[in-house]
Amino acid sequence: MLDIKFICENPDLVKENIKKKFKESKLPLVDEVIALYGEKCAANSRANDLRANRNKISKQIGMLMGQGKREEAEELKRQVNEQAAELKMLEEKEDELSRRVTEIQMKIPNIVDASVPVGKDDSENVEVEQFGSQTHPDFEIPYHTDIMQLFSGIDKEAAGRVAGEGFYYLMGDIARLHSAVLAYARDFMIDKGFTYCIPPYMIRSKVVTGVMSFEEMDAMMYKIEGEDLYLIGTSEHSMIGKFIDTITPEEQLPLTLTSYSPCFRKEKGAHGIEERGIYRIHQFEKQEMIVICRPEESMDWFRKMWGYSVELFRSMDIPVRTLECCTGDLADLKVKSYDVEAWSPKQQKYFEVCSCSNLGDAQARRLGIRIKGADGKKYLAHTLNNTVVAPPRMLIAFLENNLCFDGEHYSVKIPEALRPYMGGKTVLTTNKTL
């Protein structure tokens, strides 16, 4: 969230940023929070005056009592008691105003980077670069769940009986391939110098509101009934939360971590082809990367991080492109974001498989993640996150791009990078036909 003093000193800039994000309904929040902050400051100033006066009078009472001037001392005590009632009222008012100010601060979008293209929604995102050639096989690519069924690799029917829609069983070579991709992604990031971590799969509400907007929380998170706990929707939430209320010496930066976790989301299916299959599901697994760094280094890390995703996917023979999210497609906490999209030979279009985001100091301000500089001064860190891989979407891209057909049977070639994780297999074969 934005610093309240920044909002008060730059209301026009904050409003212009809201307009760039096409969220005009939030414009009144700027004037409202400035007015509330003014009330809070006035209450705080009056309360400080009363505290100072109380201390002054207390000393006078002691002197008068020592001089035997009891009546004068009692009069001053009466004044102190009257002021104590007013002070209590002011402190309660100040707490309530602070709560309301913070609540509104958390609804005002972060200032987007000047390089972000202005656009209303994801239809106006901008392609940055393509990596690898789009493939156009001379045979029809089956739907991804049909490919999996050829290898006896998926059972949605049984999962539906057990857990309902949005779940599935992976079986045999397909399940092994799923795990192989995650293991390869883990080692890939470790080789890049990231520290491997397995985080908690549940987080408290303080962490939830620290890492995401209210709108995202309502759309994504599962609440544990009767507990102050939420199932994580993505592992960067608990990974960033690891540093809540911490002060890290500057010389220890950057902090670079890669994490594995299951993820749980209240997904609602997209239209068309993505309504079926395993594009949008309630439970999946993910390898994530996060960075906590100095503000002046965050854009360099942003470029490195999406580059790692491109490198990883290309090592598995999957064509990808990077797409810059426009202002209207950026979540409120984000400063800049790229989607990495994989080519789908089946659909003959790209689809999102990774999302790399620079959140500036928004999460750090909410969670109290600070850095101690060499001069002893403390300042807010910048936080970034990016998907390494998130099966099953990544698995869909892998199967479609590595599928082969000899006119009778299908097979899936295993790229060299994955073979050590697949017991040395170079290809998956099946005797089944569609």
In sequence order, which residues have a C-beta less than 8 Å from that of residue 49 and are 6 or more positions away?
none
Here the tokens at position 223 are 């609440």
Res. 273: pLDDT tops 50: no
* Domain parsing of the chain, residue ranges: 4-105, 122-429
Any idea which architecture 122-429 has in CATH?
2-Layer Sandwich (3.30)
Here the tokens at position 401 are 């791009």
Tell me the pLDDT tens digit for each residue of 183-195: 999 999 999 999 9
Find tokens 């493939």 and name the residue.
Answer: 135
**Topology of domain 4-105, CATH:** Helix Hairpins (1.10.287)
Res. 271: pLDDT tops 70: no
Instruction: Specify the pTM.
Output: 0.88
Res. 141: pLDDT tops 80: yes
Measured distance CA(203)–CA(217) in Å, rounded: 12
Q: Which pLDDT score is estimated for 219? A: 77
In this structure, the strands spanning 382-389 and 369-372 are unpaired
3-state helix, strand, coil in the chain (%, to 5): 45, 20, 30
Measured distance CA(174)–CA(428) in Å, rounded: 9
Res. 215: pLDDT tops 90: no
| pLDDT level of residue 53 (50, 70, 90 thresholds) | confident
| pLDDT level of residue 73 (50, 70, 90 thresholds) | low
Average pLDDT, the chain: 91
Q: What is the percentage of the chain residues whose pLDDT exceeds 90?
A: 78
